[in-house]
């Protein structure tokens, strides 16, 4: 098949989509502020700063997708006058606004934590009264990897929380969720309505950034069909094409939805080696109108992010059952610059392998000597 997919964004997600597209004879182009980006080696990059950059990008491809949910809707509106974007604009707009997202979850009977809209100091005080403390105050738009959030634990923090986040505009206050763990489910919907779902990933974070994911999530047999039902409701309601991710909290009352991401997701990087067909290949297949591939797991897997500083390549590759992915990004504190997939032939060795890897990584993550998988 000879087709070109244009991708809004040229970071590591765009890079991995393009890598999955190449064996299918599908080329990719990119629209990115920084033309010196991880995806530049895989196709033409059109600058968002160039006067005619958007139109050049639109002319460069047959069909379009994205790697980042904060893609400007104004650019999408120009694009969709003449070309098609997958996923649909509606999904993107909803994912960019937390209150719209929660309203959609409510409409589809997908449980969420109690919440209130906040647009003034008085409405924040009212939210504290109605929801109780602690609450998590978030910007309605923007924010990722823990940014744009304030955990309000006592009434004497109300003014501080408002000073920090109030200038951002509309906010949402959520009841603090007591949960045992965080999981995510990733699914893909084809142009014929076919839906396929990968197993739940159990996600661990370090300073608000995803540290590692375990797949399949341990003790998740009862959770899988529920999560699958929720994400399928979203996909069908939105007439969605491509990969969608739903992040969830595991609580004593069942699964609560946190947020959705209308794109391939960090917690699905394991699928490149760990599934029959990865999230990246299936996304490309869906966008290009091709049949979807199997989401079956090859064997249990742990995906570990490389954050801030690179380990020695030779040290990582000396470990058994390891796949290393580097994104060609400069080192910077808190920046995702690569990931490592652990999938030994004997899955009972996963815990040992994680402990060995923890000794190699320059920055401490939530991998530790006492972890058990």
Is 148 annotated as a binding-site member?
A: yes
- Look up the CATH number of domain 181-360: 3.30.470.20
The verdict on whether residue 10 carries a ligand-binding annotation is no
Chain region(s) in the chain for CATH 3.40.50.20: 3-85
Burial 164-192 (b: 16+ CB within 10 A, else e): ebbeeeebbbbbebebebbbbbbbbbbbe
Helices (H), the chain: 12-21, 53-59, 73-79, 89-95, 98-107, 121-131, 158-165, 223-237, 271-274, 279-288, 313-317, 350-360
Residue carrying the six token digits 């609580």: 251
Q: Where in the chain is the domain with CATH 3.30.1490.20?
A: 114-175
Low-confidence residues of the chain, pLDDT below 50? none
* The pLDDT of residue 332: 95
* Per-residue model confidence (pLDDT) at position 1: 56
What's the pLDDT at 99?
96
Contacts (Cβ under 8 Å, ≥6 apart) of 6: 28, 29, 30, 31, 57, 58, 60, 61, 63, 64, 65, 83
149 is in an annotated binding site: yes
Instruction: Give the pLDDT confidence score for residue 147 in this predicted structure.
Output: 73
Q: What is the pLDDT of residue 347?
A: 87
CATH class of this structure's domain 3-85: alpha beta
CA distance 24 to 20: 8
pLDDT the model gives residue 91:
98
pLDDT at 142: 81
174 is in an annotated binding site: yes
259 is in an annotated binding site: yes
Q: What is the CATH number of domain 114-175?
A: 3.30.1490.20
The answer to the question of whether 177 is labelled as a binding residue is yes
98 labelled ligand-binding: yes
- Report the pLDDT value the prediction gives residue 286, as an integer from 0 to 100: 98
Check the annotation: does 53 bind a ligand.
Answer: no
258 is in an annotated binding site: yes
180 is in an annotated binding site: no
Whether 285 has a binding-site annotation, put simply, is: no
Q: Express each pLDDT in 203-229 by its tens digit.
A: 999 888 999 999 999 999 999 999 999
Distances (CA, A) of 355 to 263, 268, 325, 368: 31, 22, 19, 6
The annotation status of 347 as a binding-site residue, yes or no, is no
């Amino acid at each position: 098949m000879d087709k070109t997919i244009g991708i809004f964004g040229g970071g590591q997600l765009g890079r991995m989509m393009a890598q999955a597209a190449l064996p299918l004879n599908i080329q990719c182009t990119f629209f990115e502020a920084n033309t010196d980006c991880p995806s530049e080696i895989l196709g033409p990059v059109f600058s968002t700063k160039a006067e005619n950059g958007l139109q050049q990008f639109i002319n460069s491809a047959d069909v379009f997708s994205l790697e980042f949910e904060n893609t400007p809707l104004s650019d999408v509106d120009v694009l969709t006058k003449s070309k098609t974007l997958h996923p649909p604009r509606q999904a993107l707009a909803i994912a960019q606004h937390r209150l719209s997202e929660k309203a959609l979850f409510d409409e589809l009977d997908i449980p969420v934590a109690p919440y209130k809209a906040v647009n003034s100091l008085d409405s924040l005080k009212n939210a504290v009264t109605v929801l109780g403390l602690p609450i998590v105050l978030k910007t309605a738009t923007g924010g990722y990897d823990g940014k744009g959030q304030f955990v309000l634990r006592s009434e004497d923090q109300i003014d501080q929380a408002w000073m920090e986040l109030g200038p951002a505009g509309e906010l949402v206050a959520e009841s603090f969720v007591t949960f045992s763990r965080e999981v995510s489910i990733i699914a893909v919907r084809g142009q014929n309505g076919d839906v396929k779902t990968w197993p739940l990933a159990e996600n661990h974070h370090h300073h608000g950034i995803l540290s590692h994911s375990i797949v399949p999530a341990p003790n998740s047999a009862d959770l899988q069909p529920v999560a699958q039902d929720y994400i399928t409701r979203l996909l069908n309601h939105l007439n969605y094409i491509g990969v969608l991710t739903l992040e969830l909290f595991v609580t004593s009352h069942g699964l609560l939805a946190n947020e959705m991401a209308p794109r391939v997701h960090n917690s699905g990087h394991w699928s490149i080696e760990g599934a029959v067909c990865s999230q990246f290949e299936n996304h490309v297949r869906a966008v290009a109108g091709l049949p979807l591939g199997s989401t079956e797991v090859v064997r249990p897997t742990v995906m570990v992010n490389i954050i801030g500083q690179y380990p020695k390549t030779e040290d990582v590759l000396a470990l058994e059952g390891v796949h290393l992915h580097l994104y060609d990004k400069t080192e910077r504190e808190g920046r995702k610059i690569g990931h490592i997939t652990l999938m030994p032939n004997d899955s009972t060795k996963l815990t040992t392998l994680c402990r060995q890897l923890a000794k190699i990584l320059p920055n401490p993550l939530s991998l530790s000597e006492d972890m058990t998988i």
